[in-house]
Amino acid sequence: MNKMKDRNRSIQQSHGSAPTDSPLIRRKILPSKGPIRAQSLPPTDSDFLSESVLPLPVPPDLTQNSRSGARCALAVFLMLFSAYMGSIFFQGPLLPLIMISPKLFRKLVDFTMASWFLLTEVLIIKLMGIHVRQFGDHFRKPTDQQSRVSLLILNHRTQLDWLFMWGLGDPVHRMKIILKESLARVPGAGWAMQCAGFLFLRRQLATDQARLIGIVDYLLRVKSSCQLLIFPEGTDLNVGSLARSNQFARKNNLPFVSYTMHPRCAGFVYLVNLLGKGELGFFCLWHLCSICSVLMLPLGFW
């Protein structure tokens, strides 16, 4: 390592400045009014890795103005206000149907949730002015011979990245998201998610096993189908969570990552085994002969 650093120092002395295409020199993109320029920085240990494993440079942040900030604030307010009012005046009166007709209750509540998902998509695209691109394989429709169980996997770059999924259409509108328990207590949005049948976990496998079995059994009984969305990373990407992920990687001799985190495997493996082997009694055993599909929904931001 010291020999390579000495070699890099000799290159800088002989050429005046290090070549920008050298694999030993990091490039930092600096915002400017003119063309993008690169500034050479001293090499670090990660600079001696293969170029194929190094992430691409992060582009400068987009410029913001007062008008765009006001539109974003208005959109967030409309999302929260509509969730609060909808949970009280649209979903609240439907609660007696839980005992009278569970299937009708589930159908009507899912309709209210799908309507709110469409509203958020309109606010994101039209009011916020965010361009959303969707590409990939189509959702596979289950047949009579196949199980009607799907597991959707999503990375968690930010706290609100899941809002960009609703434009994928009806299959996503019917899914139930697996979240941490604290979100169930959020006024308005938390109430609506509880009515929608979202699953809230304590991140304790001994306690969460009964909840997983209960929600899957309930969905199969009232809907004959089950679409679950899980965040294997367990939380959104931030400085603290990334530090814990790198600490776990260092302890288990795993590669370091910058834009994702190492997933929580225990709950994910249990959920896959639960859906695939049918550990839900006689009724669900008939439905859960196999998982219809496991869909990955990676999110990226430009």
- For residue 137 the two structure tokens come to 């394989």
Please report the pLDDT score of residue 64 as a whole number.
Answer: 57
Give the span between the Cα atoms of 130 and 125, in whole angstroms: 5
What tens digit of pLDDT does each residue of 107-131 get? Answer: 999 999 989 988 998 998 889 888 8
Please report the pLDDT score of residue 79 as a whole number.
Answer: 92
Low-confidence ranges of the chain (pLDDT < 70): 1-66, 136-147, 171, 224, 276-302
Please report the pLDDT score of residue 139 as a whole number.
Answer: 65
Please report the pLDDT score of residue 291 as a whole number.
Answer: 47
Give the span between the Cα atoms of 145 and 287, in whole angstroms: 10
Please report the pLDDT score of residue 300 as a whole number.
Answer: 56
Q: In sequence order, which residues have a C-beta less than 8 Å from that of residue 112 and are 6 or more positions away? A: 86, 90, 91, 192
Please report the pLDDT score of residue 149 as a whole number.
Answer: 76
Length of the chain: 302
C-beta atoms surrounding 230 within 10 Å? 21
Strands 226-230 and 293-297: unpaired
**Taking Cα atoms as reference points, which of 103, 214, 200, 220 lies closest to residue 150?**
220
**Taking Cα atoms as reference points, which of 111, 75, 104, 70 lies closest to residue 90?**
111
H helical segments located in 224-264:
239-251
Contact between 205 and 267 (Cβ < 8 Å) = yes
